[in-house]
Amino acid sequence: MKQLKTEAEYREAIASNDLSVIVFKTTWCPDCHFIDPFMPDVEQKYAATATFYHIDRDELPDLCSELNILGIPSFVAFRNGQELVRFVNKLRKSREEIEQFIDRAAAVAGALPSEQ
């Protein structure tokens, strides 16, 4: 999962015509570390569906404030610069919940017209 370190990198990532999933985390968050062991498998499973990125909420606080990212880890899906769906709360996320979120994001992205 590629880390986005600047707002410019974030804006470029979400502008894609492909589905982009951004995971907002921090280094000190135990629930963020809980997902670390299985996220590579999730990324691999959905490699043809989405591109995955992560942002350290503490490194880009203004962006996270703009996006109203309060609980972490948080997942937000984008396509063509538009937010499609989000999975944001303060609770620990299971692999099943994350995969359900990605399936929902893919369904929403698939229902939208493609921009060239």
Q: Is 43 exposed, middle or buried (0-12, 13-18, 19+ CB in 10 A)?
A: middle
Contact 40, 95 (CB under 8 A): no
The angle subtended at Cα 10 by Cα 9 and Cα 14, nearest 5°, is 120
How many other C-beta atoms can be found within 10 angstroms of the C-beta atom of residue 75?
Answer: 21
- Active-site positions read 29, 32
Question: At residue 34, what are phi and psi to the nearest 5 degrees?
Answer: -60, -35
